[in-house]
Structure 1
Amino acid sequence: MSSKNPIRTAPHFVAEVDEGGLGAVDAVRVSDRKSNLWLDAWRDLRSRWMFWVSAVVIAFIVFVAFFPGVFTDVPPNSNCILSISNEQQAEEFGLPIGTRISDHGPIPGHPLGFTKQGCDVFSRIVHGTSTSLSVGVIVTVLVAFMGIVIGAFAGYFGGWLDSLLMRLGDIFFAIPYILAAVVIMSLFLHDRNIWVISLAIGFFSWPSTARILRSEVLRVRNLDYVMASEAIGLSKVRTMFTHVLPNSIAPVIIISTVGLAGAITAEATLSFLGVGLPNNLFMSWGNDISAAQTSLRTAPFTLIYPSIALSITVLAFIMLGETVRDALDPKARATR
């Protein structure tokens, strides 16, 4: 007796292919702008009044530094006289012969008065802007470069290299950078210029930047996309510069913005202490503040005006750094 075994058909669970378009809930619109850290930060910055105030002030300061002739045509370090001694000077200044110009108050054409040496205060402040800004930018670039290189290699490669570089940073941390800059500037009595003072300040200021970047690199290097790039054969150096650094650089931008203000203050401090830029060759707010000490009682404006210029500049960069820091911090944005 023969019997036939029926063939059992397995149930079919595969859904029919929907040839229509994706639904509105499941689809990702191609036209939507890609959201990322920098785009979100820019959107946040645009809504902050403190960002726009600091940006406008900094833009104005930069314009003054590049184009001082737009604001004054009075020579800052020449044409300085102690008193009116002839008819030509009397006609130029609109004052009678014998009038003392040293520490004189404002007159037409000289809105902020004169220094003890008879130089125009406003002209010296305007021309001193480029000196302070140049030192600040050079120091910031130097500190950022050294901090990024040292912090990136220490954080990414780790091991003995990390220990060596961080111990080196500890040594530099133990040396007050102002004190070190005073010693260095004292060694260059006849060769003081913007580059020397910038190197003196910046060479001892990089450890904080290096430590901050190192901590970010330690966080980023263990992320999946970094490990994947190493798995497909990319070299460690290429992975570091291609994938790790671009995603670790945000804190460096913040600290560099605030650090620029610190560099400007450091230059003014060194000039105030008498070891900065030569007063007869460079217009500097620190030099003006230092020279005004002897006239504090008789002509306090010679101290007040350059101090105000210095304070506004430093405050503008600090405000910019604070707003950028908040904009790059997702937690800070979420609390707004």
Structure 2
Amino acid sequence: MTIPTTGLTVPADSGQETAGTTPQLRASVLRTLLRDPVAAACLAYIVLVLMMAAFAPLIVKVSGWDPYEFDQSAIDANMGGIPLGGFSGSHWLGVEPGTGRDIFARIVYGARASMLIAISATVLTTLLGVVFGLLAGYFGGRTDMVISRVMEFLMAFPALIFMIAVLSALPADDRQYLLVVVISVFGWPYLARIVRGQTMSLKQREFVEAAVASGASRSTVVFTEILPNLRSTILVMVTLAVPGYIGTEAGLSFLGVGVVPPTPSWGQMIASSVNWYSVVPLYFVVPGTFLALLVLSFMVLGDRVRSVVDPKGRS
């Protein structure tokens, strides 16, 4: 569930980044993504999944099946609930073995659960990481010592074991919100560590020292001089964090401590397919393919964004 940080370096800026450079950076990143066929395909798939998540009720209404609706006519009760067919006009991606629930409808609603948890965890992780990283890097001293010790503890802690223990002990109600909190608690130190290091470097730069000498307050220095220079790094870290958290949610749901049934989740669907894989492999292949492509798409975009933001840092 950790954020990949290998090889991530500070962009080699020769001077202060100003607000005027931000649109240029966004334009450069977007241009690179659209000109690269692979990156453009990955971006299109991510947008497709986001649209599925946003308009899930409307999409399943068009398909004609609710994700919680059983279709006993689509399964053979005498054979233990084996589906009577695969793809069809009635069930576009087939039905779930044993229950007859529509796989397409559950995939659409599963995208909503996965993306909601991953994006929410990324937002919370980014806020915590940036705030604590700035505090530790800029103020130093005891503030840095306390925050650094907390980061080291959380990074050294067996996060997966703790997540399984905590989530299995907590009530199933509002499990999605609990997942966001637990994932964020163990995720923010990886961004905070990088923000801290860059802040310590930036506060020694001439433009920061000039702002301090001119009488600017600490908050002004942090938010107008240092934070703008961290935007590119934060952008890269965010694109790398989202696929990690998607995989974390899927893994926890697979282990039975994630999204609680009957709420659809891609990881939960993969876990349910284990008992049916030898008989109905399609039930594993469909959610597994959607999940793998989403994680891969985010990883490819993260690599492309990194190549634009920090071309010298690529190995």
| Fold shared per TM-score above 0.5 | yes
Cα deviation, residue 259, structure 1: 0.8
With the length of structure 2 as denominator, give the TM-score of the two structures.
0.84
Which runs of no fewer than 5 residues in structure 1 stay unpaired? Answer: 1-33, 85-92
Distance 1:102 1:77 in 2: 18
> Is structure 2 residue 53 aligned with structure 1 residue 105?
no
- Matched with 1:180 is 162
Please show how residues 1-336 of structure 1 align to structure 2 within 5 Å: 36=21, 39-40=24-25, 42-43=27-28, 45-47=30-32, 48-49=35-36, 50-68=38-56, 69-70=58-59, 72-81=63-72, 84=73, 102-106=82-86, 107-116=88-97, 117-280=99-262, 282-331=263-312
Among the aligned pairs, what percent are the same residue?
29
SS of 1:203's partner is helix
* SS of residue paired to 2:82: coil
Measure the CA separation in 1 of the matches of 2:120 and 2:275.
Answer: 31
The worse-fitting range, judged by mean Cα deviation, of 61-70 and 143-152 is 61-70
Partner AA of 2:104 in structure 1: F
Return the offset for 1:308. Answer: 0.5
The alpha-carbon deviation at position 251 of structure 1 amounts to: 1.3
> Residues 176 and 258 of structure 2 are in contact (CA less than 8 Å); yes or no, is this contact kept in structure 1?
no
Deviation at 1:99, TM superposition (A): 8.9
Contact 2:250–2:267 (CA under 8 A) maintained in structure 1: yes
1:306 partner letter:
P
Distance in 2 (alpha carbons) for counterparts of 1:291 and 1:321: 31
- Residues 201-222 of structure 1: CA distance to partner in whole angstroms, max 9, x if unpaired? 1111111100111111122111
User: What is the CA-CA distance between 1:67 and the residue it aligns to?
Assistant: 1.2
Contact 2:42 2:298 in 1 (8 A): yes
Distance (whole Å) between structure 1 residues aligned to residue 114 and residue 225 of structure 2: 36
Q: C-alpha distance in 2, partners of 1:44/1:134?
A: 24
Higher RCO structure, 1 or 2 (CA under 8 Å, sep 6+): 2
Instruction: In structure 1, give the amino acid aligned to 2:204.
Output: N
- Alpha-carbon deviation of 1:332? 6.4
Contact persistence 1:220–1:248 (CA under 8 A): no
Assess if the C-alpha contact under 8 Å between 1:41 and 1:328 holds in 2. Answer: no
Cα shift at 1:178: 2.1
Decide whether aligned partners of structure 1 residues 125 and 161 sit closer, same or farther in structure 2, where only a CA change above 3 A counts: same
Q: Could you say which structure has the higher helix fraction?
A: 2
Pair 209,300 (structure 1): closer, same or farther in 2 beyond 3 Å: same
Q: Which amino acid aligns with 1:144?
A: T
The size of the alignment, in residue pairs, is 289
Whether the aligned pair in 1 keeps the contact of 2:76 and 2:82 (CA below 8 Å) is no
Q: TM-score, normalised by structure 1?
A: 0.79
Deviation of 1:57 (Å): 1.4
Aligned CA distance change for structure 1 residues 125 and 235 (closer, same or farther; 3 Å)? same
Question: Which has the higher Rg, Structure 1 or Structure 2?
Answer: 1
Q: Measured at CA, do residues 299 and 96 of structure 1 come closer, stay the same or move farther in structure 2, by a change above 3 Å?
A: closer
User: Are the aligned partners of 1:42 and 1:327 in contact in 2 as well (CA < 8 Å)?
Assistant: no
How far apart are residue 235 of structure 1 and its match? 1.3
Please give the alpha-carbon distance, in whole angstroms, between the structure 1 residues aligned to 2:84 and 2:213: 73
